[in-house]
Chains A and B, each alone.
Chain A
Amino acid sequence: MNVLLPLAALFPLALFALSAFSPWVRQRLARLLWLAPLPGLVAALFAIDGAVTLPGPLGLALDFPGAMLLGAAALIWLAAGIAAPAFWREKLETLPYQSWWLLTMTGSLAVFMAANLVTFYLTFSLVSLAGYGLVTRDGGAAAFRAGRVYFTLAVVGEAFLLTAFVLLAVGTPSGSMAIPDVVAALPASPSRDAALVFLILGLGSKMGLVPLHVWMPPTYSAAPFPAAAVLSGAAVKAGVIGLVRFLPFSAALPGWGEALAMVGFVSAFFGVAVGLTQRNPKAVLAYSSISQMGFIAAVAGMALAAGRLAAPSELAFYALHHVFAKGGLFLALAAIATTGPRHLRPILWPAIVVALGIAGLPLTGGALAKLAVKDALGSGLAGTLGSLSAAASTILMLHFITRARTIAASDDRAEAPLAIRGAWWIAAAAALLLPWLLFPSVAGSIGKVLEVKAIFDLAWPMVLGGVAFLGWSRLSRRPELPPGDVLIVLRPAATSVRGLTDRIARAEAWITTWPVAGTLLLLLAIGFAGAMVAAR
């Protein structure tokens, strides 16, 4: 049963190796890409609580929250794998497309199974760096510009995470690298605060929490649809599993908890506010991701403050729904973009239900997700903020639906290929139905969902959101912001950095002239002599 874990992680890698070295496999693999995540799905279903140590510093283990997210990620990869051949057609038979697709998949599936710091860091970095290949797959100036921002933030985030892990490892007296031991030793370790700061920064850069979200909107709006689907669906959840695994929920840390919750809520509302100013539906979805990830961070924060042991599975459950909802909506956009107005209805109506589900439409998967995390938020200020964020999400989703309709194909009889529509329907079904199956094992009996109070708690934010949206759509002139709002501010920063590198290069050119280098050699000789004599 343990063998399923390495198989799930290494199967896509093996396919990558095969496709890299034999053109024969490469032709056939294009249509069979959806097979790659299957071992992951099987592992998620049957290998829960499995653990295996690979040679060297690597090791895999799977617990219930990990299994949920692994299964969800595998499913969305499967759906995207079905849509990809229809979307990219013959381009998918070339090495670059397959290699970046399979590498990102390896990283994004394995990150949920990482058992120790090194494996988690490897898989986290792999999904980030390989993601760059997916983002810039179809080329284009916008894609490469977004890719540069994405790559910078990915590498910076990875550096933060590495610092956090080193601080965690240094703080663990036993010196073991396994995640449970490290997290157990965290509250008492001397470098706890620094570790938590860098952890939040590292995972936040992946999840798109506000200061570090600038890469998400341009990247998702520039990336091709299947790439955007898997990146927003599965890849972002590497940050969520990070929170689930590394936050010490057993020890209540009110200070840190509230701080994280505050960042989370700021991201939630910021995402909606800027999302409303976007015209491109992909950008709107990107901001919806920022908002949802903010909400998850807020829930995690509150759970950390209260020291809630059940938080990991609740967070994972909420994220599971988000995988299907967000990944699915991107696939829906792919379908909408290629269908004429006449065939739009069978794609648009499920999109509306799933979109509103994100905001917590009663009886949908989203509602279950909201209910699962309601206890963690508690009834105080956080609870009301949670409901307000649901209302905000409603406005954003309605905005998304109006925007989504505009990108429908002009040719009336155009019909999206069945593969893309099929993939969307799979994701939609998973978003709506799968939470119902998993809810009992996460947050108690189904009955709770059907209580009048629960439905009312979910309904009033939706109504409030709807009314607010009507008011909003009446506004004649609405502000316009390019995707990646804060980027405008950062643009001059980028040019100044380039200026800095020019200056460094000029300085280096001057230093490497013979007289200067010779003088420096003499200076260093005297400097060392002085330093040592002074130390005496």
Chain B
Amino acid sequence: MLDLALDLLITALVIGVALWTIRTRDDFAAIVGFVAYGLLLTLAWARLAAYDVALTEAAIGGGVTGVILLRASVRLKPVTTARTPIGVRVLVGLLCAVISAGLAAVVLLPVSPPPSLAADVRSHLASTGLGNPIAGVLMAYRALDTFLETVVVLLALFGAWSLTPDRAWGGRPGAPIPTASFGPLPLFGRLLIPIGVVIGIYIVWVGADAPGGKFQGATILAAMWILAMMAGLTEAPPIGRWRLRLLLAAGPIVFVAVGVAGIPLAGSFLAYPEALAKPLILLIEVALTLSIAATLGLLVAGPPETAPGTEL
């Protein structure tokens, strides 16, 4: 009974914050509301016993998205939104209600034996050498999805870089930050970053058998890198640097290499030979973690704004 009460509370909170985020007139308040919404969703996922997803939601859904939104809100002038006429608002509200009702109906009237691929996943999981079923799905059964996803992340970065002013191409990403060696943030950075890196690597490592995984770990590593940059402890590398690009491309390259190697060795693209399954997957996970951490960090830093070579 207590569980239901907790779920009801979380549900009420989530919907309340969501409504407030939509209704409030001040953009900054809405963003803060969204970050709260992200964290509440993490609770919901924890309650749904989907811990991998809860981790991802907290790291990427609530965390990094919130950071980018905050970065943007600083730059935008508050635009006073003219209230749309009541009639349109009611109509749109009605239509949204109908769609929600349709989805609610689908949720309330489920198919009798709930369709699931859990059994299939369990039966083949052994051959992938992985304990965590979600890692199994991501890295083995739907490996193509994951591979494309890394390409999507890389492409999003190139898309963000394409918005650089022409004069600033090749410069260091993000707005120039004065390098400070003292103050609360550098201290916080020096304390937190080592721990953060260790936790990030741990999560990537444990992902093979327990909730965790490369995306969540990479996000933590990226967070640490962003903190270092914000605190002025390190400088963002210029986007022209070859080593940076190799790091960015390392993940997909290793993924493709192992995938193509799978054709002769295991009979199909992205198939892993029985014995070598786990080591290969871990190799890919490590490479992907590095690439995704770098990509997320650069995405949060944003496209370069100052021309290359103009040091502060």
Contact = CB atoms under 8 A, between A and B. Distances in A.
A and B: interacting chains: yes
A515 B88 contact: yes
Contacts of B84: 515
B interface secondary structure, majority = helix
A525 B99 contact: yes
Interface stretch (B15-23, B89-97, B177-185): B89-97
B95 A522 contact: yes
A304 B102 CA distance: 63
Contacts of A519: 88, 91-92, 95
B98 to A, nearest CB: 5
B300 to A, nearest CB: 28
A529 interface: yes
Contacts of A529: 102
A523 interface: yes
A196 B88 CA distance: 51
Interface string A498-536: 000000000000000001001100110110010000000
Contacts of B91: 519
Contacts of A515: 84, 88, 92
The CB with the most chain B CB atoms within 10 A, among A522, A523, A525, A529, is that of: A522
Nearest to B89: A515
B88 A522 contact: no
A515 to B, nearest CB: 6
Nearest to A521: B95
Interface string B260-302: 0000000000000000000000000000000000000000000
Nearest to B94: A522
Give the size range of B's interface with the partner: under 10
A522 B102 contact: no
A523 B102 contact: no
B88 A523 contact: no
A518 B96 CA distance: 11
Interface in A58-74: none
Interface string B128-168: 00000000000000000000000000000000000000000
B88 A526 contact: no
B92 A526 contact: no
B22 to A, nearest CB: 14
B97 to A, nearest CB: 10
A515 B92 CA distance: 9
B96 to A, nearest CB: 7
A511 to B, nearest CB: 14
Nearest to A519: B92
A526 B97 CA distance: 11
Nearest to B91: A519
B185 to A, nearest CB: 39
B101 to A, nearest CB: 10
Nearest to B88: A515
Nearest to A526: B98
Contacts of B99: 522, 525-526
A529 B77 CA distance: 41
A529 B95 CA distance: 13
A525 B98 CA distance: 10
Nearest to A530: B98
Nearest to A529: B102
Interface in B54-96: 84, 88, 91-92, 95-96
A529 B101 CA distance: 13
A12 B230 CA distance: 74
A518 B84 CA distance: 13
A516 to B, nearest CB: 8
B127 to A, nearest CB: 41
A525 B88 CA distance: 18
A211 B231 CA distance: 83
Nearest to B102: A529
B100 to A, nearest CB: 11
- Residue among B92, B95, B96 with the most chain A CB within 10 A? B95
Interface in A418-448: none
Nearest to B98: A526
A522 to B, nearest CB: 4
Contacts of A523: 95
A227 B95 CA distance: 61
A523 B92 CA distance: 9
Nearest to B96: A522
A472 to B, nearest CB: 68
A522 B102 CA distance: 13
A519 B98 CA distance: 13
A523 B95 CA distance: 7
A518 B88 CA distance: 11
Contacts of B96: 522
Contacts of A522: 92, 95-96, 99
A263 B96 CA distance: 59
A351 to B, nearest CB: 72
Nearest to A516: B88
Contacts of B88: 515, 519
A173 B215 CA distance: 63
A515 B86 CA distance: 13
A517 B282 CA distance: 47
A519 B92 CA distance: 6
B111 to A, nearest CB: 17
Nearest to B92: A519
A185 to B, nearest CB: 52
Interface string A464-478: 000000000000000
Nearest to B84: A515
A495 to B, nearest CB: 34
7 nearest A-B residue pairs (beta carbon): A522-B95, A526-B98, A519-B92, A515-B84, A515-B88, A526-B95, A523-B95
9 contacts: A519-B88, A519-B95, A522-B96, A522-B99, A523-B95, A526-B98, A526-B99, A526-B102, A529-B102
Given A515-B84, A522-B96, 17 more contacts: A515-B88, A515-B92, A518-B92, A519-B88, A519-B91, A519-B92, A519-B95, A522-B92, A522-B95, A522-B99, A523-B95, A525-B99, A526-B95, A526-B98, A526-B99, A526-B102, A529-B102
